[in-house]
């Protein structure tokens, strides 16, 4: 449905609230391919982590130039890794300043990035992370084992990021090797590196972190090891940065500078590109995606591998809420016509979803999850009538959405369906994009338009679904819907400890079916992101990691890429 939060893959990875893809509808084709077009002639390939090049054969990147990039939202928090409330647009910006310790690779696994190596002991209860030699932060502070310890310790102590590192017992510097941090866990954690591919693994200068502890003005001026150096930040206006000439991963970056401007409305973002105000945008807006597909005005790249699912998020354990009853939750699902939203508001761009895992993710099922696959209003009314017979009194519901007009239209359609199913009243609350994620984190909602759950390994969903991450309303929680299900907990814990791909696939399918029968969320569609740019802007591509493997395009956070590969044709 709409595009909603994006903390996930990237925290953590990315959960989000925001563009306007039309109808709990965002993600992609059944094949899950990446599509790249240059000047309008498009090619579609099987899912690859590095899409076809957006430059003509034989043309070499030219260093220099400046680019203005319009993103879907600003970030309403400090730019310190352990404190960022980081949606997709946040990651698109800040991964230019901070490098993560690891990144997803083309083989469906992970590879070290800023780290030289990441190695476990035999039972996966200890991980040694060795810093890459010769790397310095933008302020001259050396990147070493102590820097890793400082950043991971703060991540473990963070109100949000701490949810990801609950299984970590200690983070210490190897006394025999000043370049190596040692992470000890209280359980076997074979998938641990996936926790440090995004926000949990971003590395900031320890010197800057310590200084910003006492000087709050520094918190909006981040210092990392990344390809670009902080220039200026004005909330809701601009985040500018300049080339890091000493970046360790040469020949990147090519640009002299890049400027990010938040434009919340997807159509306004498109119009800014058309008018020449900006040079490049990212979007899930279906009208925009179909427009660029059918014209040769702008080159574009579509990102949908291991992407998110757009859906309606339900708060399922709030005392006194009808949503604690599975009959009411499933009635909402039966009353909804997701395919209609996809075909109309979503202009047919996305594939309908019956579970949380998009086509290239472990555990994906095209159908058969147990979730209602078509609208059945009679069934919805039957379930609501059954519930009301046991629970007399008014039956009301509050639905939250953003201030985007398309998302409001979707909410109004849902409102109509659910009243027809038997609710006395369904109210709609519009929340500005900057506060949208905060509302979800605090649990102050019943029903929320949302987008989340991209990633490679099921373990990346642990903090979104495990009951340990579901405190009471008013406390920040990554398990936004406050799901507390012992069966789900057990499956997530078994997956965390397993290194057997076959069993991990079985576990993920079991999780998919559990979500289907319990209707913990109302699944919409799989998200398609499009990165659209002026013809002279080149290089929306992937790159090779230090170990020789290709980075997963999107790098595990749907709707993003690394702008260090961009260059401007002179």
Residues 54-71 have pLDDT tens digits of 445 567 899 999 999 999
C-alpha–C-alpha distance, residues 81 and 152, integer Å? 10
* 268 plus 123 within the same structural domain: no
Last residue of a domain, one of 138, 172, 207: 207
Most confident of 324-328, 467-471, 559-563: 324-328
For residue 57, what pLDDT is reported? Answer: 52
pTM (two decimals): 0.85
Residue 132, in any domain of the structure: yes
* 497 plus 409 within the same structural domain: yes
**Average pLDDT value for residue range 356-381:** 95
Last residue of a domain, one of 494, 510, 526: 526
Note whether 266 and 288 are within 8 A (CB). Answer: yes
* 459 plus 360 within the same structural domain: yes
- Mean pLDDT check: name the lowest of 51-60, 181-190, 375-384, 386-395: 51-60
Residue 30, in any domain of the structure: no
* 331 plus 242 within the same structural domain: no
C-alpha–C-alpha distance, residues 329 and 371, integer Å? 11
Q: What is the band of 406 on the pLDDT scale with cuts at 50, 70, 90?
A: confident
Residue 4, in any domain of the structure: no
Direct distance between the N- and C-terminal alpha carbons of the chain, in angstroms, rounded to an integer: 40
For residue 378, what pLDDT is reported? Answer: 98
CATH of the domain at 177: 3.40.190.10
Residue 40, in any domain of the structure: no
Q: Is it the case that residue 355 has pLDDT exceeding 80? A: yes
Q: What is the band of 372 on the pLDDT scale with cuts at 50, 70, 90?
A: very high
* 239 plus 281 within the same structural domain: yes
**Average pLDDT value for residue range 523-541:** 94
* 359 plus 496 within the same structural domain: yes
DSSP 483-550: ---HHHHHHHHHHHH---HHHHHHHHHHHHHHHHHHTSEEEEEE--EEEEE-TTEE-----B-TTSPB
The first and second tokens of residue 342, run together, are: 């996809």
* 374 plus 325 within the same structural domain: yes
Q: What is the band of 75 on the pLDDT scale with cuts at 50, 70, 90?
A: confident
Phi and psi dihedrals of 389, rounded to 5?
-65, -30
Q: 């003005």: which residue's tokens? A: 217
Query: In angstroms, what CA-CA distances link 95 with 65, 230, 378?
Result: 20, 12, 49
491 HSE (CA, 13 A, CB side): 22
Domain count, the chain: 3
Q: Which residue has the higher pLDDT, 151 or 41?
A: 151
Which residues constitute the domain of residue 374?
A: 309-526
Residue 226, in any domain of the structure: no
Residue 203, in any domain of the structure: yes
C-alpha–C-alpha distance, residues 436 and 264, integer Å? 12
Q: 């075909």: which residue's tokens? A: 343
Angle, nearest 10°, between helix axes 405-421 and 377-390? 60
**Average pLDDT value for residue range 415-419:** 98
* 301 plus 313 within the same structural domain: no
Residue 49, in any domain of the structure: no
CATH of the domain at 413: 3.10.105.10
* 358 plus 390 within the same structural domain: yes
**Average pLDDT value for residue range 97-112:** 93
The first and second tokens of residue 374, run together, are: 């078509």
Over pLDDT 90: what percentage of the chain? 76
* 511 plus 379 within the same structural domain: yes
* 379 plus 476 within the same structural domain: yes
Q: Which residue has the higher pLDDT, 455 or 68?
A: 68
- In what helix (H) or strand (E) does residue 328 lie, and over which residues does it extend? helix 326-335
Residue 31, in any domain of the structure: no
The three-point CA angle 100-102-104 to 5° equals 115
Query: In angstroms, what CA-CA distances link 495 with 182, 186, 517?
Result: 23, 15, 20
* 140 plus 153 within the same structural domain: yes
């Amino acid at each position: 449905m709409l595009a909603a939060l994006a903390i996930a893959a990237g925290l953590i990875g990315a959960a989000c609230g925001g563009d306007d893809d039309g109808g709990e509808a965002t993600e992609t084709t059944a094949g899950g391919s990446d599509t790249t077009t240059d000047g309008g002639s498009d090619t579609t390939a099987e899912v690859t982590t590095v899409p076809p090049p957006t430059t003509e054969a034989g043309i070499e990147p030219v260093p220099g130039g400046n680019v203005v990039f319009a993103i879907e939202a600003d970030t309403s928090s400090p730019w310190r890794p352990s404190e960022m409330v980081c949606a997709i647009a946040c990651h698109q910006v800040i991964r230019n300043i901070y490098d993560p310790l690891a990144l997803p690779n083309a083989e469906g696994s992970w590879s070290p990035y800023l780290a030289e190596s990441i190695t476990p002991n035999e039972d996966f209860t200890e991980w040694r992370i060795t810093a890459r030699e010769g790397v310095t932060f933008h302020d001259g502070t050396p990147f070493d084992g102590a820097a890793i310890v400082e950043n991971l310790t703060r991540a473990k102590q963070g109100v949000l990021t701490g949810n990801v590192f609950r299984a970590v017992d200690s983070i210490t510097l190897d006394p025999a090797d000043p370049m190596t941090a040692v992470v000890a866990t209280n359980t076997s954690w074979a998938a641990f590196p996936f926790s440090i591919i995004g926000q949990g693994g971003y590395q900031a200068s320890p010197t800057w972190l310590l200084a910003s502890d006492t000087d709050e003005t520094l918190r909006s001026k981040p210092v990392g090891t990344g390809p670009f150096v902080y220039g200026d930040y004005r909330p809701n206006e601009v985040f500018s940065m300049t080339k890091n000439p000493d970046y360790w991963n040469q020949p990147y970056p090519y640009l002299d500078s890049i400027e990010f401007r938040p434009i919340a409305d997807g159509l306004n973002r498109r119009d800014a590109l058309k008018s020449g105000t900006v040079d490049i945008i990212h979007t899930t807006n279906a009208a925009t995606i179909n427009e660029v597909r059918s014209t040769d005005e702008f080159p574009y790249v579509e990102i949908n591998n291991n992407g998110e699912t757009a859906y309606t998020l339900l708060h399922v354990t709030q005392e006194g809420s009808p949503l604690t009853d599975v009959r009411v939750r499933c009635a909402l699902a039966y009353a909804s016509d997701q395919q209609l939203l996809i075909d109309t508001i979503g202009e047919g761009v996305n594939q309908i979803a019956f579970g949380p895992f998009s086509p290239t993710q472990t555990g994906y099922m095209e159908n058969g999850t147990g979730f209602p696959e078509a609208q059945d209003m009679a069934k919805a009314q039957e379930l609501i009538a059954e519930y009301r017979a046991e629970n007399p009194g008014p039956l009301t519901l509050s639905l939250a959405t953003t201030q985007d007009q398309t998302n409001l239209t979707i909410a109004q359609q849902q409102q109509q369906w659910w009243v027809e199913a038997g609710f006395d009243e369904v109210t709609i609350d519009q929340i500005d994009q900057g506060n949208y994620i905060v509302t979800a984190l605090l649990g102050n909602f019943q029903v929320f338009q949302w987008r989340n759950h991209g990633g490679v390994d099921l373990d990346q969903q642990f903090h979104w679904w495990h009951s340990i991450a579901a405190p009471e309303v008013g406390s920040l929680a990554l398990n936004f819907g406050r799901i507390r299900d012992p069966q789900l907990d057990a499956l997530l814990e078994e997956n965390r400890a397993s290194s057997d791909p076959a069993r991990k696939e079985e576990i993920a399918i079991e999780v998919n079916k559990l979500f289907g029968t319990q209707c913990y969320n109302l699944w919409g569609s799989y998200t398609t992101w499009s990165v659209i740019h002026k013809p002279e802007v080149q290089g929306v591509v992937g790159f090779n990691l230090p170990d020789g493997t290709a980075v997963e395009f999107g790098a595990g956070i749907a709707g993003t890429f690394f702008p260090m590969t961009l260059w401007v044709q002179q």
